[in-house]
């Protein structure tokens, strides 16, 4: 948008967002409108974003481009098992299994997963307690603790797998998940969020799934959907995922109930 004195006119803002519609999604355009509104608020001037002209232009953009976000596929329990079975031998495979299983069991965002330090992990009789010190919905850093129970199958148990990774990598402090050289040498620095997506895509491809449909978020979405399929309550899912909006969790529950509670299955076809 060209630099103009504040307040900007509704015509200028409407023209700006109409131009943005040629290369941006509605959500990105809305963020720009929010920034324009904040700029006017800071100077004590009336924001043109509240005008009928701008609102109607934005409505038209949403109708044309649509507002539904493109969601990555959820990695369900059976997918996770196939991904674990497809990991490499050696220490890289151990790390990838620990990354995937902890991400799935804890329903962690990829930024949360790579942000953990060894000091955030406490192993006990019932399983692993992970302290999440800061997250997307906890910007003040109050933190919360998430319990990861032992799995019934040692091959897919997140607790035993994280322990195996720490032992093999000889990590006692600092970043939990780290890069490993092709020679099997564990590096000092932590993985980045994009590395989680790379591991997920690598393993789903090996498991025979379409890697383009999966990303780091597939672990978190897969937990919520798989838990819903298994009949877990909204409250228990939200306690694990940290969601504050029940509407978001209910979307996963609806996805998980598409076939579990489907009337078409009662038709005798």
Choosing from 110, 178, 217, 223, the catalytic residue is 217
Q: How far apart are CA 109 and CA 87, in angstroms?
A: 21
Choosing from 40, 110, 160, 220, the catalytic residue is 220
Record the tokens describing residue 136, joined without a space: 């997307």
Calculate the alpha carbon distances from 228 to 74, 149, 202, 214, 254 in Å: 12, 18, 26, 19, 8
Q: How far apart are CA 135 and CA 132, in angstroms?
A: 7
228 CB-near residues (< 8 Å, 6+ apart): 237, 252, 253, 255, 256, 257
Question: Would residue 220 show up in a list of annotated catalytic residues for this protein?
Answer: yes
Helix (H) or strand (E) holding 121: strand 121-123
Question: Would residue 252 show up in a list of annotated catalytic residues for this protein?
Answer: yes
Q: Let me know the angle formed at the C-alpha of 240 by 238 and 242, rounded to the nearest 5 degrees.
A: 60
Choosing from 72, 97, 160, 252, the catalytic residue is 252
Helix (H) or strand (E) holding 163: helix 158-169
53 CB-near residues (< 8 Å, 6+ apart): 10, 11, 14
Question: Would residue 136 show up in a list of annotated catalytic residues for this protein?
Answer: yes
Choosing from 109, 160, 178, 223, the catalytic residue is 109
**Whole-angstrom distance between the N-terminal and C-terminal Cα of the chain?**
58
Choosing from 23, 136, 235, 266, the catalytic residue is 136
Neighbouring C-alpha atoms within 13 Å toward the C-beta of 235: 0
Residues tagged active-site: 109, 136, 217, 220, 243, 252
């Amino acid at each position: 948008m060209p630099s103009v004195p504040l307040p900007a006119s509704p015509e200028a803002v409407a023209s700006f967002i109409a131009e943005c519609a040629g290369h941006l999604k509605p959500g990105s355009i809305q963020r720009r409108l929010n920034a324009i509104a904040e700029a006017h608020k800071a100077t004590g001037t009336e924001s043109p974003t509240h005008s009928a002209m701008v609102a109607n232009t934005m409505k038209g953009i949403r109708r044309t481009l649509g507002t539904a976000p493109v969601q990555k596929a959820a990695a369900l329990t059976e997918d996770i098992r196939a991904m674990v079975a497809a990991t490499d031998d050696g220490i890289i495979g151990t790390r990838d299994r620990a990354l995937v299983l902890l991400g799935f069991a804890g329903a962690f965002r990829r930024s949360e997963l790579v942000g953990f330090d060894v000091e955030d992990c406490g192993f006990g009789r019932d399983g692993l307690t992970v302290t999440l010190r800061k997250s997307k919905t906890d910007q003040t850093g109050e933190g919360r603790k998430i319990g990861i129970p032992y799995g019934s199958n040692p091959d897919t148990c997140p607790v035993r797998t994280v322990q195996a990774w720490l032992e093999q990598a000889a990590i006692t402090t600092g970043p939990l998940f780290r890069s490993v050289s092709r020679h099997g040498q564990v590096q000092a620095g932590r993985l980045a969020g994009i590395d989680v997506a790379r591991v997920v895509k690598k393993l789903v491809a090996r498991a025979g799934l379409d890697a383009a449909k999966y990303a780091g978020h597939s672990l978190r979405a897969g937990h919520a959907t798989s838990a819903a399929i298994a009949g877990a309550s909204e409250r228990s899912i939200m306690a694990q995922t940290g969601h504050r909006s029940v509407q978001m969790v209910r979307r996963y529950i609806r996805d998980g109930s598409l076939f579990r509670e489907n009337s078409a299955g009662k038709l005798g076809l």
